[in-house]
Structure 1
Amino acid sequence: MDPHGGTGARRRVRRGASRQSGRPDQPGGRSDADREGVLRVHRESFRSSRRGGISPSSRRRHRDLEPRGSPRRVVGTLIDTSVLVAAERGHLNREAVFAAIADEDGGMAMAAITASELMHGVHRLRGAGQAAAERSCRTWLSLLPVLPFDLDVARVHATLTTHLRGAGTPIGAHDLIIAATAVHHGHAVATRDRRSLARIDGLEVEYW
């Protein structure tokens, strides 16, 4: 299977990639200048202290799913919702995740569906809980560029869907969108899910 569906060269996430801010009544992203300021603070605050952090040695990569043809060059990491939720709930060191994002210097991003899941979590809550969730949502959106589900990603998504259903190993709709986004852009996926994403041929998975 060619997971890229003939879509051409993969695009790398670059620091300062543009992203529209959300509407005033919804969680949204900051400007590029604001995001750079936040990243600079996290670099200065956390780079010198990585105890309990996320380092390459502590990331367990799923390497038994190798792409066919020429070796696949991973150029970035797509952060799954499960990682962000785990950081907010204390199952992961939140500051270490900030540090990992800062150290990658623009190489980490989230899929548009992940942004939707974060904002959905905000809208489900009420009162103080909603306010806290909205602050967290805005923080993640300010740090991580959001990669859209565009036509190129849709082509990969269709190819992956056909392959997985044909093999009798379908995965959840949102996970499939994240996988298609990662495959198209040449990204690994950082996740806490040990089942679904491991089924994608050619996708490198990092378990955080």
Structure 2
Amino acid sequence: MKYLLDTHLCIAIIKRKPAAALNRILQHAADDLGVSSLTVGELRHGAERSAYPQQNHAALDAFLAPLVVAHFDSAAAARYGALRAELERETLPLGPLETIIAAHALSLGATLATSKAGELAGIPGLEIENWSET
């Protein structure tokens, strides 16, 4: 897996907005693309809370089918603990879930594909690509 897709980007691709995000995913082989098991949980939560949960779970299943699902393992957990402490020392504001997904990408050696690159720019060693831009 070369790219770990974050939650924001997955939602953009599923909704097909912006079109640039959908175009970027189509440029890559499915085995180069993955999502964190934690991202899957967030997406399931969103589908469950929606006005049309059955329809949204079906759309999510179709989206996830060709992707690699990377399980959050002990290496990712260790990377998260170190990264969160580092960000707190440097007072870089980043939400816990964003920090976890960034740590997961770092532990996998994957580039984090996102639609919100600005929030993640201060994370040392993290390769980021904004797929919502053309």
TM range (shorter): 0.7 to 0.9
Amino acid at match of 1:96: N
Q: Which runs of 5+ in 2 are unaligned?
A: none
1:105 Cα deviation after fit: 4.3
What residue is the counterpart of 1:77 in the other structure?
3
1:170 Cα deviation after fit: 3.2
TM normalised by structure 1 equals 0.58
Structure 1 199/138 Cα, relative in aligned 2: closer, same or farther at 3 Å?
same
What residue is the counterpart of 1:152 in the other structure?
75
* Structure showing greater Rg: 1
Identity among equivalent pairs (%): 28
What residue is the counterpart of 1:186 in the other structure?
109
What residue is the counterpart of 1:99 in the other structure?
26
What residue is the counterpart of 2:60 in the other structure?
137
Check whether the contact 1:172–1:196 (CA below 8 A) recurs between aligned residues: no
Residues 1:167 and 2:94 are matched in the alignment: no
What residue is the counterpart of 2:44 in the other structure?
119
Amino acid at match of 1:193: K
- Give the count of matched residue pairs: 130
Amino acid at match of 2:26: A
Provide the alpha-carbon RMSD of the alignment.
1.7
- Within 1, Cα distance between the matches of 2:96 and 2:81? 12
Amino acid at match of 2:93: P
- Return structure 1 stretches of 4+ with deviation > 4 angstroms: none
Instruction: Give 1 or 2: higher helix fraction.
Output: 2
